[in-house]
Structure 1
Amino acid sequence: MYVPAHLTGLRSRMKMTMDKASPNGPDAPRRSVADPERSPTDFSLPRVQDAYTLAPVPLCQLDALGRIEELNLAAARLLGDTAERLRGRRFVRYVHPDSRDDWFRRHATRLRLCTGDGGQRPVLMERSLDEDGRSRLVLLDVSALPAWRAEPRPPGAGLSGLAARDSLTGLANRRQFLDTARQTLRIAQRHDLKWGLLRLDLDAFADLNRAIGRAAGDRVLRVLAARLREATRGSDSLGRLEGDEFCVLFSLGREGRPWSRAVNKISRAVSRPLRIGGHQLMLGASMGVSLYPCHGADAEVLLRRAGLAMRHHQQLRRAAYHLYGEEMEGAASPEPPRLRRLRAALLSPMLRFMPQVDIGSGDVPALDVCLKLPDRERPAPAADYVPLAEELGVSAAFGQALAREAVTALAGLREAGCPGVNLSLALPPASLAERGFIGWLRGLLQSRGLAMDELELAFSEQSLLQEALLSAGVLERLSEVGARIAVDDYGTDCGSLAGLRHTALQTVKLSPALVSGVIRTGSERRLLGALLAFVQRYGLQLVAKGVDGPEQAALLSLLGCRRLQGEWLSPALAAPAAVRLIRAGMPALPERLEGV
């Protein structure tokens, strides 16, 4: 019988532990009372395999292509078939279509499984990946739990779904799409797999929006997202980049299936007529395609080149789509005015400031830097614009412009009589990894009479582990010059503890998705409490982001998180309004919690 590789390591670790614990040493004989001829600590592979097979919790191992390599009896019962018939099948075929985005974008999540008998089972899944791309799954059937039945949630509304998804369509946002694409391409490189990236932009959508109204326009985007889901495989990744621009990362297998087949299917789905609010509409879209590995080896390059092909298609309209070619580089494809405006806005950033509020005193000890773009209604965290800056090729210049504006704002706070309030800023990791950038930033602060620890630098969980940062020694260098370091949106990637191993870390900002679960179920509340206790053990400052009501604030306070942030407390403010709030404080905050 096949034995999963991790079981042999488990056997070795168990035997080593028991040998050390033996009072007579590792060579002392041990006998079982029930069976004098058999040791109770028999860690032979058959014994460990029996434990795996008969474990009451469903366990499953998948290969790099998502096919079932091994599973135990509990997993076979959960999927409604025999283990022999299940081996070799792709696990995704048992994942309900509404849950497939969750399956491909998370390490731990809630899913709906389609069983062999035609039924459906809600499960909690813990998923881990090894360096060869294999997945190990631990599944828990929760269909019998009242809490699950009483609280149905839309796809992607788990602990990390909100922060990673576009709120209108439910698709991945730009940052999450790129994160997923990077991970997919790393696995593709190891296993010689081929992928394609499609980028599409609806034709004249701004005119359509004005003609039928914004609400109807939003419905068009939701319908388009649903059609893209229908036209793609479960293994494909979908995202909404911004506005009416979408992208699809689609698998071509090891042999490289014809990419045009997948693109034609998407094109037909988009162009089908639809009826919205009494309007009969025909959608058109500009589409560009780039291929891995022949057009690029990383997600950002493929996305940019698919964008070039898309703009080429907008100009020529000789086919339903265009494939990237080197002739499209440079002046061959003029940049649309919208992208020119975006680039200009990133290089002259308009800052807004989201207050962090101490729930006990009502003081504002820090402000998070946000950006307000001229064509956007609401400010967004600076980190949300890092992928866009990378795509537009202005990452380094964006980092410098953002740092200059932030330092100017920080000096303005000091001049306005706010000495204890620091700024928290997310800069592009590529900028920080550039030679000389940290020294330049330190000099910029000193020129305004500011210390390095007055500007906190925030990193996402994933960027803390990026090879560019680690190999360049960025975190160590920042620690040497006295910078404060924060991990931002902690819990978006299921609270990976690896991101907390850096001794330079001072602040942990809990993601809005994690915070939103505090009032949803007792299990999520216990999970958050455990995370808070773990982080507090390190003596780190905790900030809960996305607090949207008094119940959340009260429960977070009881769990030990005193510093909160969210629209319920205060929206992102212009500098003068932020100064007024800092001076006045929020003395009414305790009253807000009365009776909660």
Structure 2
Amino acid sequence: MRAARALDNASRLAPHLPTLQHGNGGAANSRAVARGMSSTAAQVLVFDSSEATGIGWCDALAARSRGRLRGSTVTTLDAAEHELSSQPIAAILLVPDAAGQCFELLARLRSLMPALPVVGVGDAASGERFAREGGHEWVELEPGTAPDAREQQLVERVLRFAVERAGLQSELERQRRLGLHLAHHDTLTDLPNRQLFRTQLRQLLHQAQRNPRALAVMFVDLDRFKQINDTLGHRVGDLMLVEVARRLQSCVRETDIAARRGGDEFTVLLDGIRRGQDAARVARKILTEIAKPYSIGGHELFLTASIGMSLFPADGADSEALVRNADIAMYRAKARGGNTYQFFMPEMTDRAMERMEMENSLHQALERQQFVLYYQPQVDLTSGRIVAMEALIRWQHPEAGMIFPDEFIPLAEETGIIVRMGEWVLGEACRQAKRWDEQGLTPVVQAVNFSARQFQFRRPVERIREVLQETGLDPARLDLELTESAVMKDPGFAMETLRKLRDMGVSISIDDFGTGQSSLAYLKKFPISKLKIDKTFIHTLLADRKDAAITNAIIAMAHELELKAVAEGVETPAQLEYLRGPGCDEVQGYLFSRPVPAEEAGRLLASWNTPLN
């Protein structure tokens, strides 16, 4: 039993590639032979009942291999087991003995260390037994005589080739295991990937159906991670994901599974929970861990998560249903503001189906040309003339009729459809401006909303230049409206991009000013032309002193920065009259015109020639 345990330890300790430290077993002479040899030599264990013969083999192997092999001699099973368990051995040379100890060692090696090369030397009869016992290579020698130089060279070569072959096989096996691991694990975080998670979930469901127990599936989505990734770069984003993965793993048991689904999405499988509150407790722990500060790349960053949960068997009988329902619940948690968890409830399915249908319809709307542009005039408060037309998108749905932006723009932003949609708006608005020119109408500026995603990801300067060239519109006739948040996501990128646009002749307005996050230090540096006061302040400025004060302050600040102030959402003559006081430059709203189709907007341009004052 002691011998078997020693070999079992050796099977775990001794690699099959030669690592090649010097052994500490055998005679002093064999250790002396090994001294001074290259540290890259492969260690060979010579098992010979005659110590003198074993030392001779060690000397011969060292000399014939020119330092590529070095040996240590053992004469007993105990000594062999000690050597195998205490140092890496690349190969074994067996010299049969009358007592048959070498074949006993061979049998144990084949059982516990089958990949370790074993070479034997001796007569033909011993060779036959060696082959039956599972030895690798046998070199037949004349019985009763010492091996001559040719035979020594042959044994050395056989041993060396055996070591090299074992090394290649070991490397191939290592590569196979690595490939298998990479196929089932996320390369960034080393967590199980989507495929492995699905496989493990199915296996646990199969077990749970035979031996009933509850499971919980969590869908974890990071809140506003994209903003950090876009602002600080993918390297910082990747480091954050690695840290999130570590924290996620720290929150679950070894029997549970945490996986990365892709992007900033993770899934967790809790096995054998007793009730839903067990899952809720883990969810709270995950939220707490993820919300702790991150110190990455010299930045102290903060992150939260939204978690959706489904339970087996209550919320689904198969893996697809459980993951889908956890995903639906996650969106509900995100809709509640994030940094929370939500259990799946059956009524959520209807809302999820509506959302999925809306997303599919949005994709189809672009292909089927269901989007149309309406136009709303911007009026100079001094002259009373139209100075710009803002293009506003509408969705002419074949069944639902006219759908307004508030109903589909948030989903378009979330799914990324907004990029293609925004590019279509830009092109169509510029083409319409040229059509009005061809009709002989007074040229006005064409104002176009530009989404944050378009601004950050799709080569905005190059794309705008392409559209202007394609349509032939004068760059001075294009005004891009960006929100404060869009330009503040990456102020450095925004500064460079806005300067390039200004140099092209394109003007920039900050839309919905006063509702987003901005820095006055950057605002004064950005090459912008207008501040558009958000309509929420205009609606109540006559009834709310604070909104009136904010409106006055924005107008005054715009003028101090040599910018124009534009008031949105002007609906009454009283609001218009108030805005004259602080010197608002331009106004826009239902008082002048609702957004109208292009044809009607053209008639407005043709007839609008009466000053307001």
TM-score (norm 1): 0.44
Which one has more relative contact order, counting CA pairs under 8 Å at least 6 apart? 1
Q: Whose Rg is larger? A: 2
TM-score (norm 2): 0.43
